[in-house]
């Protein structure tokens, strides 16, 4: 968007991961482990349920600046009504 104060641009990209599973054996009787939003070992979080990137950029003549933010949400902190911990949304 062009203004008297320069050109502004807003960018926002988000992803929502429904399922990310791993199976560590070949037995047909065991279920795969769900990796979305849960720690699978010390120091490893797995896949975040929601990943959102936003940035605001400004340019005016030879000057410019960009501000960016990253939001990561795991299973236990989804801000959605009706979310059931450990369950599918």
For residue range 28-65, what is the model confidence (pLDDT) as tens digits? Answer: 898 887 777 665 555 565 678 888 999 999 999 999 99
The pLDDT-based confidence of 89 (bands split at 50, 70, 90) is very low
d(CA 89, CA 21): 16
pTM score of the predicted model? 0.58
d(CA 19, CA 89): 11
pLDDT at 40: 58
On the question of pLDDT at 82 being above 50, the answer is no
On the question of pLDDT at 14 being above 90, the answer is yes
Query: Residue 78 to residues 11, 41, 64: CA-CA distances in angstroms?
Result: 22, 21, 35
């Amino acid at each position: 968007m062009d203004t008297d104060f320069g050109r502004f641009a807003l960018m926002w990209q988000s992803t929502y991961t429904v399922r990310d599973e791993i199976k560590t054996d070949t037995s047909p009787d065991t279920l795969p482990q769900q990796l979305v939003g849960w720690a699978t070992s010390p120091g490893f979080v797995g896949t975040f349920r929601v990943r959102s990137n936003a940035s605001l950029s400004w340019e005016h003549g030879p000057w410019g600046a960009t501000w960016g933010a990253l939001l990561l949400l795991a299973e236990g902190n989804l801000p959605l009504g009706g979310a059931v911990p450990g369950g599918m949304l």
